[in-house]
Chains A and B, each alone.
Chain A
């Protein structure tokens, strides 16, 4: 299957700090998705990106679809304790109907 390289694997930050994580792929994707997963729960969709260069915000979250269509990043500004969880990127290959996932970024926020 396709490999999505997501980094960093984990982050330990102080409340109020900004966070950035990214995903890269060797393939071109036509959609990038970002999810948050709490322990023992299903992932929840945060942001969906459909066009190269697209920059989309959802509250304190901002994500961008890379110009090359092979990467995407997610920023979280002014982190709070409830941001703790695992963040996943996912991509959909052009003209295919499967979604591929990164291995996740585990975020820890110290109050």
Chain B
């Protein structure tokens, strides 16, 4: 079945450690996104990528890094510079036509990161 796979679903990290969250999609979508979700808040955009080997900062990129070496993969690294990393992280993807996203954003099941 086509979809977006995030791993791990749960992750615990000690302060000062970097962690990488995986996101893989087999939908053949060009655009991929990382969002952060905190209780009582909407989803906030961390990074997004419109095409392989290219990505842009979202609204809360500080303390995070990404890479887009393959179309189907968009891993997110939460670095030790992120002051409050405990959150639910969601990866998403969308198709593009004519340089503009088609407007349907599909999500993975999320990864919950807890800093101990």
Binding site for B on A (CB under 8 A): 1, 4, 6, 30-31, 33, 35, 40-45, 48, 50, 88, 90, 92, 95, 97-104
Contacts and interface: CB of A to CB of B under 8 A. Distances in A.
B72 interface: no
Contacts of A4: 42
B103 to A, nearest CB: 4
Which applies to chain B's interface (DSSP): helix, strand, loop or mixed? strand
A103 B40 contact: yes
Contacts of A35: 107
Contact of B100 (A6, A40, A95): A95
A98 B103 contact: no
B103 A33 contact: yes
Interface string B71-95: 0000000000000000010101010
B102 to A, nearest CB: 9
The A interface is mostly helix, strand or loop, or mixed, namely strand
Most buried by B among A31, A97, A101, A103: A97
A103 B42 contact: yes
A36 to B, nearest CB: 11
Interface of B: 4, 6, 31, 33, 35, 40-45, 48, 50, 58-59, 88, 90, 92, 94, 96, 100-101, 103-110, 112
A95 B101 CA distance: 9
Contact of B101 (A41, A92, A100, A104): A92
Contacts of B108: 42
7 nearest CB pairs, A to B: A42-B107, A31-B103, A1-B59, A101-B42, A101-B43, A103-B42, A42-B109
Contacts of B42: 4, 6, 88, 100-104
B41 A92 contact: no
Nearest to A4: B42
A72 to B, nearest CB: 13
B15 to A, nearest CB: 24
Given A1-B45, A101-B42, A103-B42, A33 B31 contact: no
Contact of B44 (A1, A31, A33, A43): A1
